[in-house]
Amino acid sequence: MSLETRDAEIARIFARLKVSETGYPPRLFDARRTEFKKRVSKTCLELECSIAFINLLKSKGSDNANHAC
């Protein structure tokens, strides 16, 4: 068998492999998706809290500064 034929055979097998492989089992995918969405919400909440806290500190800082004046 020539090199070209053998390479064509390899390419054909790869193409078959691509379509025949197992996909993400739906239950696993759904569970992982839900977990990721929760993680996103938690991260967003934490960031919002941090920003609010920093703003609070800043405003307290400027209040104190105003008092000093």
Rounded to whole angstroms, how far apart are CA atoms 48 and 20? 45
Under rule CB under 8 A, residue 33 binds another protein: yes
Q: How far is the CB of 64 from another protein (least distance, A)?
A: 29
Closer residue to another protein, CB minimum distance, 14 or 65? 14
Q: How far apart are the first and last CA of the chain?
A: 92
Closer residue to another protein, CB minimum distance, 6 or 60? 6
Number of residues that bind another protein (CB under 8 A): 31
Under rule CB under 8 A, residue 53 binds another protein: no
Rounded to whole angstroms, how far apart are CA atoms 57 and 64? 10
